[in-house]
Structure formats: structure tokens, C-alpha cells
A and B are shown apart, each in its own frame.
Chain A
Amino acid sequence: MRKRVVVTGLGVVASNATGIDNFLQAIRCGQSGIKFLPKLNELKFACQVGGIPDISKPEHLEFFSKYHFEDASDNVKYSTLAAAEAWKDAGFDLPDPIDSDTDYDTGVIIGGGVGNIDVFTDKIIPRIESGNVRRLRSNIAEFTMFSAASANISFLLALGNQVSANSSACSTGAESIILGVERIRHGLAKRMLVGSSEIASPYVWGCFDSMRVLCRGFNESPQEASRPMSATAAGFVPAAGSGVLLLEDYETAIERNAKIYAEVIGTALNSGGQRKDGSMQAPGTEGVRRCLAQSLQDAKIEPQEIDYICGHLSSTMADPIEIKNWAAVLGRNGHDFPYINSLKSITGHSLGASGTIETIAAILQMHHKFLFPSVNCNDVHPQISEIIDSKKITHSLIENIELNVVAKASFGFGDINSSLILKKI
């Protein structure tokens, strides 16, 4: 029989807040982390807004200095901060960096969409091109690895179970959670730190800008740029950040009397294979619906039990399609549709990091009994209001609401889908 898996720790670095307490406060208020970025203006980007986390507080710098992360990619900085927070949130202490024993029961999987390319663009390429390969320094290699975040978290916490990194574009975050859940379900680990991280880089964002998929009309009003579910949604707003969750075997968590946020009761991963209406860039209907349905089946719940959907909803023309797919799979329309909102309306789209940051937002809402405001969609897209009652979109903060079962799905380039069902226990 498979083991039950629960969430016992959370850590976050998002464009609108760093740290769980600040993030909770920020999402409650619908506080946006999206700003005008002069650098993108200088570089002649059509989209000149984005969401970049603040990790410049004295306590952040002290943390990076203590563990020698100063020269690391922002991926490593974001995710080590989030991992340390999740670890402490679960009731554990940070071990001594040298004199402590390895914890062979706990592993770490931190994914990303593009990886540590800031190390290449800011350090390696300039030094090598100017003939200074000798001066690259010994820590450069460890920060270029796609597994740099996981490897450095393993060092930080002396973790001795699986230590690796996953990647599946914007599905990465939800996928990392699913990989950790599977490992615990099979009894191969007692705890898994899972999550994902994405840097802010014009060299990544430029690729999307050239595809015309970033928001271009709101450079003067950055906080209105990300408009999921709106008739005037015109492309996503790029962002950066990291979310990390501590997953734990239910029995182990009960034994040590841990605080339990939620149980992960259902998961599913698949790809539409880029056939029919699916493509490299667009999630195909058949694959998406199979994935969502499989996660419900895995959770052994009825569609009617879903109280809330934490949307992928990235402020593009795919938003109505996502709603249509959920409505079809759940067989629920109009006022019967679950509540839905989009964190991307206030954080922007942090690509590979989005799935874990959004799952954390979903868990916090369930735990603290509220639904955060999904901003900038007073003009609901007509193809959405045809399917669901627009009151099911949380236009403003909803308090004192019992959310027992919530769904979180993510979709990524490569026609890749992932879906999670979480339950309060």
C-alpha cells in the first residue's frame, strides 16, 4: 500500500514578497510585485514590466555569506532561502555546515525552466571571451550545474536521499512536487524538499518578447499588465522567484507531532504529444483533460468535492481554454463551478517556479481560510463568462471560507501537463 504524503513546511521567494508571512500578507491584499524595469526599456523590449523578488535585506545577505552563496546564480539564492524557510517552518533546525550528520531519509528535488544562465552571461562568457579563463574561480562549476540548487540545499541541510533537478518548462514546479510525492509514496524517502526556481534575465525574457507572447500595452501601468481571465489579457508578464515545500510521510509527520498544512491526495503528469490541437507552445485539449481527470481519479474524489482551483491562468489567450477544460472534466458550469483565481495577476509568470509558488498560495488559502483577489479581470473574457459565473472568480478577498479540497494544475511548453489535488486534514 502506498504511503500518504503531507506538506509540513513552506518557503517562498516571490516578486511580491519574500518569506511566508510577508507572502501571506501580500496575497491577501492582492499586492502586486510587478514593476516597470528601466533595463528592459534600454534594451528596447516591447514588454518593459516584470516581477523580480527582493533578496537584498541584511538577513538575506548574511545568509548568503554564511553559506558562501554570494557568487551563486539567483536560482541558488532564491531556492536556498526558500528551502531554509521550509525546513525551519517544519520544525527543524539548520545543521552546522561542517559538524553534523547526514540525513539519509530526506532528499531534495529543485527544478527550473532554463537554469543558472546568469552565471554564464554575467561571469563565464565575459571572462572567457577576454582571455581570463584562469580567473574563473573554483566555485563557478558548482553554480553552473542544473542541479546547483539541489546540491547546495543538500549541503545546507546535510540531505542524503535523492538529490536532483527536474525540468518541464512551466510545468516544472508542479512536477517537482509530484516527483517528491511519488518517492515518499513508494517508501523510498521519509521527507522530500521539492520546489523550483527561476531567475530574471533579459536573455530568457527576450526570447518570449520576440515571440510576442509577453504583455506589451501596459508599460505605463505595470500593476495592470498581468490580467488573467480578462477580455483585455494580452500576454504574460515575466517574473522570477522560488517556492519550496517540505513533503513528509504522513506517519513520520504524526510521530513527530508536526504541523500539517495539507495532504497531497492526487497527482498526474502527462504530455499531449504535440498532436491535434496541441503543439510545442499550446497544451492540447485531450492531454490536458486526461491529466486533470487522472489526478481526480488518483485522489479518489468526485468532481463535486473540488472547492477551489488555483489556476495556471497566465494572462494569455489560453486562459479561456483552461477554464473550458476544467469545466468539461469536472462537469461543472455556471455557479456550480469551483472558485478560481490566478496568482500570476499579482506576481507575474515565474515560468518554472510558478507551479510551486502557486501551490504554496493554494495551501496558505486552505490553511488560513481565505481566497486572494485575482486582480485586473473586472472585464471577464466573454469566452469565460459563457462557461462560468463570473462570481466564481475571486475579484476581491473572500474571508472565512472552508476549502477542503483544492486543485492546482500547470501547463508547459512541450505540451506538458501536471495536476495536483490537495486536501485539508
Chain B
Amino acid sequence: MEKLLKIIEKYSFNKELIKDATPDSRIIADLSINSTRIVDIILDIEEEFNIEVEDSALAKMVTIRDVINIIEKK
């Protein structure tokens, strides 16, 4: 989760929100991130964790926990 938050932080306009984030935080709604940036978060995750995330996973990525689940399944 630490690695993931570091990625997400780059796209937020309010870094304080990232410090208080929990697995249940919604990436777009709670962390002050433009919704189109989810694409960039996926690209960063692919590079960081050396995995490939299908485009179909995009819709399922709402909370931090959702993303962690996707990474762990790979």
C-alpha cells in the first residue's frame, strides 16, 4: 500500500489527503484526483510491479483496496 500511495500522491492536488488515506479511501472521490489520471496510475503500477493490468480492470478500481487486490492477483 505504501508503494501504491506513493504513485497516487503524484496525481493529487492535496498531498495531506494521501497521508490520511486508508484502504477504503476512494481514489478519485476522496483523494482529490482528476478521474482521467486512473490511466496514469495503472501505467505506473505496471512499471512499478512489473505486471500488466487489463483495460477491463479500470472500472473496478474505485478504492485503494480494489487496486491492491488487482495487484495481488497478478
Contact = CB atoms under 8 A, between A and B. Distances in A.
A375 B60 CA distance: 63
B14 A139 contact: no
A139 B13 contact: no
A91 interface: no
A139 B13 CA distance: 15
B40 A139 contact: yes
Nearest to B10: A68
Contacts of A2: none
Nearest to A65: B10
A97 interface: yes
B36 interface: yes
A68 B37 CA distance: 11
A425 interface: no
B32 A135 contact: no
A44 interface: no
A186 to B, nearest CB: 34
Q: Which of B11, B14, B40 has the most CB of A within 10 A?
A: B40
B43 A135 contact: yes
A98 B40 contact: no
A137 interface: yes
Contact of B11 (A68, A97, A98, A135): A68
A137 B43 contact: yes
B57 interface: no
B39 to A, nearest CB: 4
Nearest to B11: A68
B14 A138 contact: no
B39 A98 contact: no
A98 B32 contact: yes
B43 to A, nearest CB: 6
A399 B14 CA distance: 48
A139 B33 CA distance: 13
Label chain B's interface by main secondary structure. Answer: helix
Interface in A82-114: 97-98
**What range describes how many residues of B lie at the interface?**
10 to 19
Interface string B12-54: 0110000000000000000010101111100100000000000
B40 A137 contact: yes
Contacts of A68: 11, 13
A97 B11 CA distance: 13
Nearest to B38: A138
A98 B15 CA distance: 12
Contact of B36 (A97, A98, A135, A138): A138
Contact of B37 (A97, A98, A135, A138): A138
A134 to B, nearest CB: 8
Contacts of A97: 13
Interface in A132-146: 135, 137-139
Contacts of B32: 98
A156 to B, nearest CB: 11
Contacts of B37: 138-139
Given A138-B36, A138-B37, A98 B43 contact: no
A160 to B, nearest CB: 18
Nearest to B47: A135
Contacts of B14: 98
A137 B39 contact: yes
Given A98-B32, A138-B34, A138-B36, 12 more contacts: A68-B11, A68-B13, A97-B13, A98-B14, A135-B43, A137-B40, A137-B43, A138-B38, A138-B39, A139-B36, A139-B37, A139-B40
**Among all A-B residue pairs, the 3 with the closest Cβ atoms:** A138-B36, A138-B39, A97-B13
Interface of A: 68, 97-98, 135, 137-139
19 contacts: A68-B11, A68-B13, A97-B13, A98-B13, A98-B14, A98-B32, A135-B43, A137-B39, A137-B40, A137-B43, A138-B34, A138-B36, A138-B37, A138-B38, A138-B39, A138-B40, A139-B36, A139-B37, A139-B40
